[in-house]
């Protein structure tokens, strides 16, 4: 019985590095439009891990926005990016937001 327990423990220890080796690349964990006055005014993305140094004004946008209404984006913290539309989106407006790959 001791040999079986010892073999199981050695097997579990051998698998530990494999289990910890999973994909740790950043993922989008939240992507949501922000409403105000019944219209979409912003679009927020939250990532699974820090993406930019805190307070870095040169941090690049993680998205490309194709929309009839312009806007501007900013990092609000190391993991959250917000795109603010220049004005609330009129009904029926279609915008395409895609992640920039580095």
Would you identify the CATH topology of the domain 24-99?
Immunoglobulin-like (2.60.40)
Residue 13 pLDDT greater than 50, yes or no: no
Least confident of 7-11, 26-30, 92-96: 7-11
Q: How confident is the model at residue 7 (pLDDT cuts 50, 70, 90)?
A: very low
pLDDT band for position 8 (50/70/90)?
very low
Residue 72 near residue 82, CB atoms below 8 Å: no
Lowest mean pLDDT across 1-5, 49-53, 84-88, 93-97: 1-5
Candidates 5, 72, 6, 62; CA nearest to 31 is 62
Q: Residue 14: what pLDDT? A: 44
Domain map (residue ranges) of the chain: 24-99
Burial class (CB in 10 A: 0-12, 13-18, 19+), 94: exposed
Look at residue 74 and tell me whether its pLDDT is greater than 70.
yes
């Amino acid at each position: 019985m001791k040999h079986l327990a010892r073999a199981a423990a050695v097997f579990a220890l051998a698998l530990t590095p494999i289990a910890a080796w999973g994909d740790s690349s950043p993922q989008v964990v939240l992507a949501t439009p922000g409403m105000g006055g019944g219209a979409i005014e912003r679009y927020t993305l939250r990532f699974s891990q820090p993406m930019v140094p805190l307070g870095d004004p040169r941090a690049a946008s993680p998205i490309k926005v194709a929309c009839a209404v312009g806007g501007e984006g900013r990092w609000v913290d190391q993991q959250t990016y917000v795109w603010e539309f220049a004005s609330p989106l009129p009904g029926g407006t279609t915008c395409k937001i895609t992640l920039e790959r580095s």
